[in-house]
A and B are shown apart, each in its own frame.
Chain A
Amino acid sequence: MSERIKPLLGHRLFWPIAVLVVMLAANTIYRPGFLSIEMNNGHLYGTPIDILRLSAPLILVALGMTLVISTGGIDLSVGSICAISGAIACLHISQAPDQNSFVTVATALAMALGVALVLGAWNGVLVSVIGIQPIIATLILMVAGRGLAQLITEGQIITINSGPYRAIGLGHFLTLPLAIFIALGAALLVAAFTRRTALGMIIESVGGNREASRLAGIRSGRMVFLVYVVSAACAAVAGFMMTANVSSADGNAAGLWVELDAILAVVIGGTALAGGRFYLSGTILGALIIQTLTTTVYAMNISPQTALLFKAVVVIAVCLIQAPAFRATFNRRKRGTPPPPAPTPQRQKEEASA
């Protein structure tokens, strides 16, 4: 564990922050106007604001994912849940006589959120009660969920014209995009629950050793169940934002690959995939890094698909930096001392959860 307490350079957020700063600096050199923010019609505009706004859905999904991963699980179904929640909300609004009615939008959101909670509960039951491996349990909903979303939209793209709904993605509040506040609110809520109460510690203990936690009197199963429900709820809200951004629901494309981005954000943030420890601030930084990377690549006129190349490099770099084996090799070369004994229990656990 000393590897974890004694990171390469001081604080554990050092590397994520350094990466973000380097990326922003590189962007500013490439395009001097990159960091400029201007006031227009009482709203702030500029690339940094755009990055914040566009990263909001990813931050939401990644928050839920952080909790799931910290229990040693993984949730692959978030992308499908985004698509389903967006589809349900848009379907309800599109059928309403007055799309701008606040009540209609609220009902649509409540319905979609309700369905998402049920889907999260389904994942939770599969993992905690039936005991299926998380990666497989959520794979089921990942595959079937896309189909469900397309079933809801009947394979079409539902376009809506609803002011209140669009506000979720594009609205402003206190000169800043509303989406930022929603993501920030969710982050603060999760942080308050996990860091101001014992909940976070309990989740980490379940992730560290589920059986031991159960024997210590923690209802491990219930905790595991809960994180999947929370993850689904976060994904649902992210789905509202994604569909509100474009005022349409596409069952096929909405939230595609967001689960991978979210896992990436969590890993960049320093949360180990094996579970047992989580860092919400790291996750948020990770999401910002990914969105900055995406924005940078788009700004350089590189296609979104090619952007995946850069993501691949980031994933490998981050994983190598975090891998104990890689650090051991690195440190051994530097100090000329024999490597520390292999971290067998952790390795076992990783293999079991892989």
Chain B
Amino acid sequence: MSSTSLTTGPSWARLPRRHVPVLATLALLLVMYAIGVSQYRAFSNVQVIFNVFIDNGFLLVVAVGMTFVILTGGIDLSVGSVVAMTAMVSAWLLQSGLPALLVLVIALLIGPTLGFLMGCAIHFFDIQPFIVTLAGMFFARGMCTFISDSSIRITDGFWTTMAQHRIGDPGGNFVSVSVLVAFAVVLIGAYVLAYTRLGRNVYAIGGNPQSALLMGLPVGRTRIAVYTISGLCSAIGGILLSFYTLSGAPLIGIGMELDVIAAVVIGGTVLTGGSGYVFGTVLGVLVLGVIQTLITFDGSLNSWWTKIVIGGLLFAFILLQRLIGIRYK
């Protein structure tokens, strides 16, 4: 189908080509930031950037997990619901008086368990990831309202401390604990993908599952692992979200999976798998965050413009990936 493989240049030209989408995202981010600074004086405030991280820390964590899944050529539609379920379960357990640490452990176990089960269904029964994770999404969202129809407030000491604790510099700018957690997840994710055997296997499977299998790579184990990782990231994201909102709400995070997929794609990861970086995903999340900030600063534009702009950017980046012809099957 793709004739582009015939036109790949010499080896020195191939490396930058893989980096083109990430560089394009970086350029876009800088342009958007420049527009913001030139239009609004307050935009140059460092706290604006910190706020983007504070508001999107959970999204960043979830997007790291999604990067793993998409790199293998799969997709995980359940993330938004798992985030909501984790926040809901934590709020519910805290309300019933369990100690914070125990709640944290339980909440962090549910996501990976669901991810593991979905991975098994995908691998052993050969069902499409799209449909399995769709069922996972239904399940997790159903569990949310099964627990409670209305949102549950969190008053636990540990949670409120986490929510309100500010880590700042002498200039008065600050970030929340969630941002540090998100950074830790990003660094671990980037390390695993770049320097571990699991990371190599993820790229290999995304590149060509058949070849990976023939090469003797543990395709099944890796596949199940990425969905488990995505589940774990969603669970961490859910905890961060519950820090952020100090409540568990059954309808929170609807459509988050699409934001996450959009962030990963805008970050330069190819949806057919095999090519992409966690660093790109960070940029993708930042792009979404800056769009929202710009729209908030403008004041006259409404939130629906966010969706339209994200859709437009998604289109532009997919087109870009197509045009430069990286790894398109």
What residues of chain A have their CB less than 8 Å away from a CB belonging to chain B? 74, 126, 130-133, 135-137, 139-148, 150-151, 154-155, 211, 251, 260, 263-264, 267, 273-274, 303, 305-313, 315-316, 319-320, 323-326, 347-348, 350-354
Contact = CB atoms under 8 A, between A and B. Distances in A.
Contact of B265 (A74, A136, A264): A136
Contacts of B305: 147, 151
Interface residues of B, number: 56
Given A315-B135, A316-B121, 5 more contacts: A131-B328, A140-B311, A309-B138, A315-B131, A354-B128
Contacts of B121: 316, 319-320
10 contacts: A131-B322, A143-B258, A144-B308, A144-B312, A150-B304, A306-B145, A308-B141, A311-B135, A319-B121, A353-B128
A225 B304 CA distance: 28
B115 to A, nearest CB: 15
B127 interface: yes
Nearest to B272: A133
B142 A151 contact: no
A132 B318 CA distance: 8
A273 B209 CA distance: 19
B131 A319 contact: yes
Interface string B167-202: 000000000000000000000000000000000000
Interface of B: 1, 73-75, 121, 124-132, 134-139, 141-146, 149, 209-210, 250-251, 255, 258, 261-262, 265, 271-272, 302-312, 314-315, 318-319, 322, 328-329
| 10 nearest CB pairs, A to B | A144-B311, A309-B142, A147-B307, A305-B145, A150-B304, A312-B138, A312-B139, A147-B308, A308-B142, A315-B135
Contact of B130 (A135, A143, A148): A135
Contact of B126 (A147, A350, A353): A350
A223 to B, nearest CB: 16
Given A143-B262, A144-B307, A316-B135, A150 B126 contact: no
B125 A146 contact: no
Contact of B142 (A136, A273, A306): A306
A133 B265 CA distance: 13
Contacts of A323: 125-127
A319 B262 contact: no
Given A306-B145, A315-B135, A354 B73 contact: yes
A307 to B, nearest CB: 7
Q: Which of A263, A316, A352 has the largest count of B CB atoms less than 10 A from its CB?
A: A316
B117 to A, nearest CB: 10
Contacts of B315: 126, 140, 144
A122 to B, nearest CB: 10
A309 B125 CA distance: 21
Q: Which of B139, B258, B262, B312 has the largest count of A CB atoms less than 10 A from its CB?
A: B139
Contact of B314 (A143, A310, A316, A352): A143
Contacts of B1: 131, 211
A352 B304 contact: no
Contacts of A130: 319, 322
